[in-house]
Structure 1
Amino acid sequence: MEPVLQTRYVFTITAHIGSVTSAGDIGTGVRRIIPITGGEVKGQDVNGQICAFGADFQIIRPNELIELEAKYAFATDDGAVIYVENRGIRCGPVELLQRLKRGEPVDPKLIYFRTVPKFETGSEKYRWLMESLFVGSAARHADRVVVDVHQVL
């Protein structure tokens, strides 16, 4: 019998983003920093507002493979603060990734964009976020990133 991996949808993160700052080609790719300016978290058990600080630190490899590392926090509707560290990759046809970089719309289904969010909080109610692994299926839009977060069971 083969092991089966199951997940459960828990919430959606909609992170509003600002203008890209580039540090240029660092030898292993182009370093970009994209500020996270706010947004929301919506789900059955977790709801809140993304704090207006944090950023996504990216390296764009020569083949347009993008490695992402976002660090930010959100405050739940009941007052807890949850820190998020979300690493992932985005890849797809080069011409579509270049359109995304220019802020042009691209069908999210045509781009592979997956993440592994990690959460930290002192809140007992949300401690379960630190006791499981999570995966995210994401979509990049001109002014926001939307991540559907699933708990690995």
Structure 2
Amino acid sequence: MKDIGEISTAHLFDMAVDLSPRLDVGTGPVGRRVLFGSAGGTFEGPRLRGEVLPGGGDWALFRPDGVMTLDVRLTLRTHDGDLIHMTYGGRWATPPALRADLADPATRHQVDPARYYFRTNPLFETGAKRYAWLNDIVCVGSGYLIEGGIAYKVAQVA
């Protein structure tokens, strides 16, 4: 094998997404489908910042083993008015002993995120010239619950 160097990351932004009331589609042949709609939010990092627009969401699938698979599409508007399409998949694996605590919307944001595994793989699309560099990068993210929504630390893979 060739030595191609270690994979490294650099902070891209932190993002908080406000969630609409969830829509439970029900249990189908591959698990329970739930839509967690985006009601807005913000993102901020060293190279870009702005707002998460309403209308996106996570078409999550809860597998029979309790792991949630993510299927997210969001639209970001930068502080200077450009639009960015953000998509990501990922996994949220929670130990069975924690699931009751995470099911309570009033207190679930108080559960220490170190006790569950919540990782994503964001990709971006934009026609904005000043943000065109986003079209060519791969990112990783760590998710955690906040009051009224969800938050992520997103890093660019170098």
TM norm structure 1: 0.94
The letter of the residue matching 1:7 is: T
Q: Which ranges of structure 1 fall in alignment gaps of 5 or more residues?
A: none
Counterparts of residues 12-91 of structure 1 (less than 5 Å): 12-91=14-93
| Structure 1 ranges of 4+ moved more than 2 A | none
CA distance in 2, matches of 1:28, 1:111: 22
In structure 2, runs of 5+ residues without a counterpart are: none
- In structure 2, the partner of 1:130 is 135
**Letter paired with 1:83:** H
Task: Give the count of matched residue pairs.
Answer: 153
Question: Is it true that 1:111 corresponds to 2:116 in the alignment?
Answer: yes
**One-letter identity of the residue aligned with 1:120:** E
1:92 offset after TM fit, Å? 2.2
Cα deviation, residue 143, structure 1: 1.4
Distance 2:132 2:30 in 1: 37
| Cα deviation, residue 141, structure 1 | 3.0
The 3-state SS of whatever aligns with 1:4 is coil
SS of 1:125 mapped into structure 2? helix
Q: What amino acid is the match of 2:126?
A: T
Percent of aligned positions that are identical: 28
Single out whichever of 16-25 and 2-11 deviates more from structure 2. 2-11
Q: 5 Å matches for 1:135-146?
A: 135-146=140-151
Partner Cα distance (2:57, 2:4) in 1: 40
Give, in angstroms, the shift of residue 2 of structure 1.
7.3
Structure number with the higher helix fraction is 2
